[in-house]
Amino acid sequence: MTTDAPPPQGGPDTQPAGPTTEQFVAVQESAEFGELRRAHRSFAFPLTVAFIAWYLLYVLMSNYAGGFMGTKLFGNINVALVFGILQFVTTFLIAWFYARHAATKLDPKAAAIKSRLEAGE
């Protein structure tokens, strides 16, 4: 019995060879990768710490400064509600700032490293 099926695709000879472990390690130890990592950390860590501090302030004030948080600002709007809404606002602002930072500072460096690694340099 014969079949007219095409030969299998993607055998070992048709797959491009990927970067080796040694190439990955060399890139990881390069100054350019260190610069990329510093650019990410110098942006992400301070904003993360600041946001966690801001969130904990909100939680602590909700627990221990109920009188202040219950202060009416206008109508039925009190300080706690404003702080709660500001939590959402700061979350979206941080996400927007990070996306902008990544697009302008991180992505070009990462793309250059990736293209050199894939080219086999």
Q: Which residues of 13-28 are buried (b: 16+ CB within 10 A; e: fewer)?
A: eeeeeeeeeeeeeebe
At 73, list the tokens: 């600002």
One digit per residue, the tens of pLDDT, for the chain of length 121 reads: 555 655 555 555 555 567 788 888 888 888 998 999 999 999 999 999 999 999 999 999 999 998 999 999 999 999 999 999 999 999 999 999 999 999 999 999 999 988 888 887 5
